[in-house]
Amino acid sequence: MAGRLILTALPLLCAAAPSVARAAGGSAGGGRAGELGTVVLLVIVIGIAYVFAHNVVERLQRRFLVVSGAEYLLLGALLGPTFPAIGVFDNMTGIVPIIALAAGWVGLLRGTDFDFASLQKLDPATWRIVILHHLLPGAAVGIGAYYFFAESGLLFKPWEFGPEERRTAMLSAAALACFAAADSAEPFDLLSRRYEINGKLSSLLRNGTRLGDIMVILAFGLIFCVFHESAAGAQKYSPSLWAWVTVLLGGALGFLFSLFLAGDESDNSRFLALVGIIAFASGGAYFLELSPLAVNLSMGFVLVNFARGGHLLHSTLESTERPMAIVLMIFAGALWRPTDLQATLIALAGFLVLRTVAKWLASVIAAWGTSLRSDLFRGLLAHGDVTLAMAVSFRLVYQGGAADIAYSVVLGSIIINDLLAPRLLRGLLADQGEIQRELSESDSRTSIEVSAK
């Protein structure tokens, strides 16, 4: 645990180094000392949060079957500008690279989830589940969200709805569509720490969530291409060009860094290499106003298939996924700003209803003429790290009006669905007869192990 805590704090300490130098430099001592104090406090907060998660939260999750995260969002909100009395994160500019690093970590992990060999072994039914359970919720929420932002009159009056407002409404609706399409494999991992699970359905749904993550991240990357935030006076390029830049940048960096990986590094050496790789790729994406998730996704797919020891990279990324998720949760809370309560609650209720109904409809259609169950949506309601990383990436680039409400809505949906999803999944697997027995503390597993009947 201590080793993982050091790994968690390491990127933050690296980010603190420039602040240390400036604080030691002299005259503007007050503000710079305050900046240094913020970074040091940040390291302490993240360290305490990880120790708490490892020793307390994981046991509570296993006991009560909840995917935790709300407490870290609340902690981040308390430390952010929303509560100026505390004001630890009043100025988020200096820690944006850390946020981009954490988001890029999720993208790279998803890119290394599936190599060519594993893709060829997928059950054909997986593609049916992935397409329907991601396309229908995304389309339903996207259309509904655009109507809400553009036509409801809660945000814009008809005479105020100009080209810029229309662009913001389309952008926010597209982001909510991606948030609705994403799901998570975390409930499967949580259940596997408490129960012995055997059967095809668990494997099918879990693989579907992982493959769906890839599709959603690519779709989310297109938002940054279509609604690219070019600097004032800069030449504007076509969305197709930015899309090519996103894919080729990640692919080129993947091939470049694969030359420097020997494949026999220690875990610590591999972790340090990944920090540098992801920081470079995420920094490039942030500089170009592109999605760090999509860039790192492309890079991860290249690394796992062409780099020596690509599967070891995936293992290292998985072992440090939880600390990076905590970083994302805390900063996601810090980036939140209060929005109009009535509009936000209406939007959240509509999001939850449309997403759930669309996933139910997708399950019914997917089961038509097949042996699949018609209630598979019960295992595909969680959001997870990909949704959180997309939300934070969206927040860093797009703000104001509809974008603020979209961000509040997705955070609310993450809290609600992640609390309910594990129990709904347990009911689905119990009905299917795939939960064999409850594991004791001595033989609990940290990752799902499914053997087909």
**CA-CA distance, 207 to 95, in Å (whole number)?**
34
For the segment 370-379, the average pLDDT, to the nearest whole number, is: 88
Tell me the pTM: 0.83
For the segment 125-145, the average pLDDT, to the nearest whole number, is: 91
CA angle 184, 187, 189 (to 5 degrees): 100
pLDDT, position 56 = 62
Token digits of residue 277: 């790789």
Q: Give helix 200-226 / helix 96-111 axis angle, nearest 10°.
A: 130
377-401: pLDDT as tens digits = 998 998 888 999 999 999 988 887 8
Exposed e or buried b per residue across 119-139, where buried means at least 16 C-beta atoms within 10 angstroms of its C-beta: eeebeebbebbbbbbbbbbbe
Query: Is the predicted pLDDT of residue 6 greater than 50, yes or no?
Result: no
For the segment 212-233, the average pLDDT, to the nearest whole number, is: 85
pLDDT, position 235 = 65
Strand, helix or coil at 142?
Answer: helix
Instruction: State which fold the 94-438 domain adopts.
Output: Na+/H+ antiporter like fold (1.20.1530)
Q: How far is CA 450 from CA 40, 125, 322, 442, 447, in A?
A: 42, 17, 22, 19, 10
53-76: pLDDT as tens digits = 556 666 666 665 666 677 788 888
pLDDT, position 312 = 82
Query: Is the predicted pLDDT of residue 12 greater than 70, yes or no?
Result: no
Q: Which residues pair with 196 in a beta bridge?
A: 437
310-334: pLDDT as tens digits = 778 888 888 778 778 888 888 899 8
**CA-CA distance, 134 to 127, in Å (whole number)?**
11
Q: Picking from 294-303, 313-322, 355-364, which range would have the lowest pLDDT averaged per residue?
A: 313-322
pLDDT band at 248 (very low <50, low <70, confident <90, very high): very high
Query: Is the predicted pLDDT of residue 263 greater than 80, yes or no?
Result: no
Query: Is the predicted pLDDT of residue 361 greater than 90, yes or no?
Result: yes
Q: How far is CA 356 from CA 350, 351, 408, in A?
A: 10, 8, 18
Q: Report the residue count for the chain.
A: 453
**CA-CA distance, 316 to 300, in Å (whole number)?**
13
Q: Considering only CA atoms, give the Rg of the chain.
A: 22
Residue type, 25: G
**CA-CA distance, 82 to 332, in Å (whole number)?**
12
DSSP letter string over 337-371?
Answer: ----HHHHHHHHHHHHHHHHHHHHHHHHHHHTTSS
